[in-house]
Amino acid sequence: MHRRAFLTAGLVTVFASPRAIAQMKMDDMPGMDMGGHDMGAAPQGASMLPEGEALRELPLLANEAGTPGLFRAKLTAEPATARFAEGLDTPILGYNGVSPGPLIEATEGDRVEITFANRIPEETSTIHWHGMPVPADQDGNPMDPVATGADRTYSFDLPEGSAGSYWYHPHPHGKTAEQVYRGLAGAFVVKPKVDPIPAGYGDTVLV
């Protein structure tokens, strides 16, 4: 999986850095001609992305560790409110109060220690590190639930060659789909130790 691949978390919102503005000019992209097919108008009152305006960047999950090679942070799954349309508040589940959850950026070779706090009322949950090369007992599988009100620290090392674009989401038995579509999902970018792409190009993360 390449770092430049788009991340799709099945959410209705799209976020990116200001560098994405030019990329979002879909009419100018080759291969986007729908051959005259009417794809249908947006529902009346639907929230549209204003053309030419910058999309807001994903919040970055802060690294609380002061040691090189260690990424330490906390993610809390909790009820929150989002405004997807003007004047309409929607109850959601969010990581640290937002959906999509904070963008996690680490570097291959890093030790990762993320404490998960489950504050979803009356539901177990986990964090599954989708596609990432982590030990099975640290991968938030359905048989390893975190109870309501409990905390659990996931610890793993990012091996050499693991640089890429990933995403994280809950994986509790029987509740995975519901918790994801209610808002629990986020992007995880593992950077290479030596990046062949100039830093000036940056990364654009879409969820």
Domains of the chain, CATH where assigned: 58-192 (2.60.40.420)
* Structure confidence by residue, pLDDT tens digits, 157-183: 999 999 999 999 999 999 999 999 999
* Whole-number pLDDT of residue 27: 43
Is it the case that residue 2 has pLDDT exceeding 90? no
Residue 20, φ and ψ in degrees, nearest 5: -80, -10
Is it the case that residue 90 has pLDDT exceeding 70? yes
User: Of the ranges 46-50, 57-61, 87-91, 112-116, which is most confident?
Assistant: 112-116
Of residues 28 and 124, the one with the higher pLDDT is 124
Whether omega before 18 lies within 30 degrees of 0, making that bond cis, reads no
Whole-number Å distance between alpha carbons of 25 and 155: 40
Of residues 11 and 81, the one with the higher pLDDT is 81
Look at 69-73, 81-85, 109-113, 120-124 and tell me which has the smallest mean pLDDT: 81-85
User: Of the ranges 5-9, 163-167, 202-206, which is most confident?
Assistant: 163-167
10: left (phi over 0), alpha (psi -120 to 50) or beta: left
Rounded average pLDDT over 2-9: 40
DSSP three-state, residue 61: coil
**185, amino acid identity:** A
* Whole-number pLDDT of residue 37: 38
b/e map 161-175, b = 16+ CB within 10 Å? ebbbbbbbbbbbeeb
Tokens matching residue 62? 């802060």
Rounded average pLDDT over 32-59: 58
Q: Which of 98, 61, 65, 64 is nearest to 82 (CA)?
A: 98
Q: Is the dihedral of CA 152, 123, 177, 44 positive or negative?
A: negative
b/e map 39-68, b = 16+ CB within 10 Å? eeeeeeeeeeeeeeeebeebbebebeeeee
Count CA atoms within 13 Å of residue 207 on its CB side. Answer: 30
* Whole-number pLDDT of residue 55: 77
Is it the case that residue 114 has pLDDT exceeding 80? yes
Is it the case that residue 18 has pLDDT exceeding 80? no
> Percentage of the chain with pLDDT > 70?
76
* Whole-number pLDDT of residue 53: 77
* Structure confidence by residue, pLDDT tens digits, 125-161: 999 999 999 999 999 999 999 999 999 999 999 999 9
Give every strand in the sheet of 128-130, ordered side by side.
104-107, 186-191, 164-169, 128-130
Is it the case that residue 87 has pLDDT exceeding 60? yes
